[in-house]
Chains A and B, each alone.
Chain A
Amino acid sequence: MKLVLVGLSHKSAPLKVRECLAPPPEAVGGELERCAALPGVREAFLVSTCNRVEALAVMDEDADPGEVARWLAHGRGVAAEEIAPHLYTHQDTDAVRHLYRVASSLDSLVVGEPQILGQIKEAYRTAAMAGTSRAVLNRLLHKTFQVAKRVRSETNIGGAAVSISFAAVELAKKIFDSLEGLAVMVVGAGEMAELALEHLVGQGAGRVLVANRTLERAVELARPFGGEALELKDMPKLLGQVDIVIASTGSMLPVITLEMARSALKKRRGRPLFFIDIAVPRDVEPAVGELDGCYLYDIDDLSSVVEAGKASRAEAAGEAESIVAQEVVKFMAWLKGLEAVPTISALSAKAEGIRAAELSRTLKDLGISDPEQAAALDRLTLALVKKLIHDPIMFVKHASHDKSEDTRREQLALVRRIFNIEENGDS
């Protein structure tokens, strides 16, 4: 038995290849059943996101991993040769390590982004529904979820901001604690402001106001958020009603002056006001940041937050790699133990078969009909057999933990030969 992982990701293939390979979500279940029916494939799992398409299969030892690669490319309207250079194949330890790294978002475009774990969970659900995830994959995927959780809780991998919008959200949380119910005003209607607004609303910000030179554009930006649109000249009056201001106009002069901020603060009765100025040249007078209760971050400040965040994530990624390495060793030990299971059960079954046959013959030959005597003989033979096969079973278990694969196989084969147990486990 071996684990085979075949796939491609943003690191190995351009978008046009990745989108060719991704099956439509509703077809994944059927595709998995088809994969599990391939020669030598015992279990199958497929994860498909915008950044990666990967198949994981449990295969017989002598099966061809190429089967999985061909299945992945089949019926996608693209030549297998075109995909081949972008595909990677990992086996056993490497496959487990790769899966753990992907789930812990160490292989993601943005290291530490949390979405991938949800996508893998969803993919697992599909495989479980299709019945193509059984003993080995069930165990492996549950372990994968635990590893990803461990990485998230024991390292700071998701804790630092790596985009301007994320930085804005993180800073807002450090000022207001929770974004729940906060009012946000966007001044100007740039694309980056829209993205930052989206993030803030996603984190619970409530009221949205959009002020723009042209009211039409303000209405357009405010609509998806259920916000209010207003003209730029009305902005100063409402400044005191909002908690966060995202400024991104194309104006050459500051549109938010010290005076405006001061009068807004008075109306806020001590509640802080957070300015995110992503305009170049700047929209908010720098002196605003000096006021007690005002926090002002311009695009350079935010960029340095992002850079620091990237460095912090890189450091956390190092710690995460060592967690992954430990967990891979644990899983492989379990998997190796699994290889010995058929030999152990065959050995036990053979011993029990011989015992039962010999016992019944002896009882018949001696003409024993007393149930008590029969039970005593039963106990005697059971104890004898148990004691006799205890050491060979211990030997097999120990052999399965041997680090060298060749030695492990040789030792298992030796036990099978000694006890005349065939390769498939039957005697």
Chain B
Amino acid sequence: MSTALHWATLAAYVFGGLVSMGYLFKQRHGLYRMGLALLWVGFGLHSAALAAAWISSGVLPAANLRQSLDLFSWAIMGAALVINLRLEMKIMGAVAGPLCALMLLAASVLPKVEGVTSSAFKSLWIVLHVLSIMAGYGLLALTFLGGVLYLVQDHALRAKKLGPAFQRLPSLGRLDSLSHTSLVAGFLLMTIGLITGAVYAQITLGSYWRWDPKEVWALITWLLYAALLHTRLVQGWRGRRGAWLALIAFAALVFTFLGAGLLFPSYHSFASLAGFGGTTP
């Protein structure tokens, strides 16, 4: 059941992304609406697939890289679609569709790791920890996208090259709003995720913080985003400097998500998550 839903989601993201790209080239409003509708359908299927996986295994499907990528892709698409309701950004589908489709495709080729059924994974705290961290990551991925597009548009305006990219990209003001909204909400969720994670660690492992490599990297990432938020709100770093800092912070985030999970032996690593029973770190 969930495999069929997975492929249906992938198909909807691929077609939604392609139709949205078609809109960028042809500038037909109908294509934009159709692309967006396909992505919403895809997001619905994706949510159903995750819910089915959750119900069938009894634990939150975030126990290995395959599942985590799947969840991350869901979070990015959800954040993109929800934020787009407020800040209509016609380029969003053409960026989020292919990105999430690629992440899902990568998840599909990764080996299936079975067997996380420990009751420790059924705690409300870990559910809150994983979901808020993932939702935060999804939003912060949009901060990153906003930063990249801001730099491209800023470059076009400065170089006075007002070609098709300039015409189709949103205004600097709107990209700045995207970065701002997603940063504030993403940072808040990431903070909640870290706190709930610490509480969970205290309950299951007996200490709030164990200086595990993933925890260290998560702290570095959190500090970078705190700096980004601070410079933006207090010092008014909005333009290029803010966009560059958003790029650096996102690089740290990706490393926390992938690198710290794959490279270092720790109880957070994807390899040991599969056998994580909550008693041995």
CB within 8 Å of B: which residues of A?
A: 153-154, 156, 159, 171, 173-178, 268-272, 289, 292-293, 295, 297, 301, 304-305, 308
Q: Which residues 157-192 of B have a CB within 8 angstroms of A? A: 157-158, 160, 162, 166-167, 170-174, 177
B157 A305 Cβ-Cβ under 8 A: no
Measured CB to CB, the nearest residue on chain A to B177 is: A177
Q: Is B33 interfacial (CB 8 A cutoff)?
A: no
Measured between alpha carbons, how far is A314 from B174 in the docked complex, in Å?
29
Measured CB to CB, the nearest residue on chain B to A172 is: B171
Measured CB to CB, the nearest residue on chain A to B172 is: A175
23 contacts between A and B (CB under 8 A): A153-B28, A153-B29, A154-B27, A174-B153, A174-B172, A175-B172, A176-B172, A177-B172, A177-B173, A178-B173, A268-B236, A269-B235, A270-B235, A270-B238, A270-B242, A271-B236, A271-B238, A292-B239, A292-B241, A293-B238, A301-B160, A304-B160, A305-B160
- Chain B residues with CB under 8 Å of A271's CB are 236, 238
B166 A174 Cβ-Cβ under 8 A: yes
- Chain A residues with CB under 8 Å of B236's CB are 268-271
- Chain A residues with CB under 8 Å of B238's CB are 270-272, 293
- Considering the complex of A and B, which 6 residue pairs feature the smallest CB-CB distances, nearest first? A270-B236, A269-B236, A177-B173, A270-B238, A177-B171, A177-B174
Measured between alpha carbons, how far is A308 from B172 in the docked complex, in Å?
21
- Chain A residues with CB under 8 Å of B208's CB are none
Q: What total of A-B pairs shows CB separation below 8 Å?
A: 57
- Chain A residues with CB under 8 Å of B27's CB are 154, 156
A175 B173 Cβ-Cβ under 8 A: yes
Measured between alpha carbons, how far is A138 from B242 in the docked complex, in Å?
57
Query: Which single member of A154, A289, A292 contacts B240 (CB below 8 Å)?
Result: A292
17 additional contacts, CB 8 Å, given A174-B172, A305-B162?
A153-B29, A154-B27, A156-B27, A159-B167, A174-B157, A175-B157, A176-B172, A177-B174, A177-B177, A178-B173, A270-B238, A271-B236, A292-B239, A292-B241, A295-B157, A301-B160, A305-B160
Measured between alpha carbons, how far is A231 from B28 in the docked complex, in Å?
49
B160 A297 Cβ-Cβ under 8 A: yes
- Chain B residues with CB under 8 Å of A270's CB are 232, 235-239, 242
B171 A272 Cβ-Cβ under 8 A: no
- Chain B residues with CB under 8 Å of A304's CB are 160
Measured CB to CB, the nearest residue on chain A to B173 is: A177
CB distance from A315 to the nearest CB of B (A): 11
Q: Which residues 205-238 of B have a CB within 8 angstroms of A? A: 232, 235-238
CB distance from A254 to the nearest CB of B (A): 19
B160 A176 Cβ-Cβ under 8 A: no
Measured between alpha carbons, how far is A177 from B173 in the docked complex, in Å?
5
Measured CB to CB, the nearest residue on chain A to B167 is: A159
CB within 8 Å of A: which residues of B?
A: 27-29, 153, 157-158, 160, 162, 166-167, 170-174, 177, 232, 235-242
- Chain B residues with CB under 8 Å of A293's CB are 238-239
- Chain A residues with CB under 8 Å of B167's CB are 156, 159
Measured between alpha carbons, how far is A171 from B236 in the docked complex, in Å?
23
Measured between alpha carbons, how far is A26 from B236 in the docked complex, in Å?
57
CB distance from A26 to the nearest CB of B (A): 39
A173 B239 Cβ-Cβ under 8 A: no
CB distance from A77 to the nearest CB of B (A): 48
Measured CB to CB, the nearest residue on chain B to A178 is: B173
- Chain A residues with CB under 8 Å of B153's CB are 174
Measured between alpha carbons, how far is A171 from B162 in the docked complex, in Å?
9
Measured between alpha carbons, how far is A177 from B238 in the docked complex, in Å?
15
CB distance from A394 to the nearest CB of B (A): 36
A272 B239 Cβ-Cβ under 8 A: yes
Query: Which single member of B162, B170, B239, B241 contacts A308 (CB below 8 Å)?
Result: B162
- Chain A residues with CB under 8 Å of B232's CB are 270
- Chain B residues with CB under 8 Å of A175's CB are 157, 171-173
Measured between alpha carbons, how far is A156 from B236 in the docked complex, in Å?
36
Measured between alpha carbons, how far is A156 from B153 in the docked complex, in Å?
20
B158 A272 Cβ-Cβ under 8 A: no
A176 B173 Cβ-Cβ under 8 A: yes
B29 A174 Cβ-Cβ under 8 A: no
CB distance from B240 to the nearest CB of A (A): 5
- Chain B residues with CB under 8 Å of A269's CB are 235-236
- Among A153, A173, A270, A301, chain B packs the most CB atoms within 10 A around the CB of A270
A295 B29 Cβ-Cβ under 8 A: no
Measured CB to CB, the nearest residue on chain B to A300 is: B160
Measured CB to CB, the nearest residue on chain B to A170 is: B162
CB distance from B83 to the nearest CB of A (A): 15
Measured between alpha carbons, how far is A153 from B158 in the docked complex, in Å?
29
CB distance from B39 to the nearest CB of A (A): 22
Measured CB to CB, the nearest residue on chain A to B232 is: A270
- Chain A residues with CB under 8 Å of B29's CB are 153
- Chain B residues with CB under 8 Å of A268's CB are 236
- Chain B residues with CB under 8 Å of A153's CB are 28-29
A154 B28 Cβ-Cβ under 8 A: yes
Measured between alpha carbons, how far is A269 from B239 in the docked complex, in Å?
10
Measured between alpha carbons, how far is A146 from B97 in the docked complex, in Å?
33
**Also in contact, A174 and B171, with CB within 8 A (given A268-B236, A292-B239, A293-B239):** yes
- Chain B residues with CB under 8 Å of A174's CB are 153, 157, 166, 171-172
Measured between alpha carbons, how far is A275 from B170 in the docked complex, in Å?
20
Measured CB to CB, the nearest residue on chain A to B241 is: A292
CB distance from B88 to the nearest CB of A (A): 11
Query: Which single member of A156, A178, A272, A297 contacts B172 (CB below 8 Å)?
Result: A272
- Chain A residues with CB under 8 Å of B237's CB are 270
CB distance from A361 to the nearest CB of B (A): 61
Measured between alpha carbons, how far is A156 from B25 in the docked complex, in Å?
12
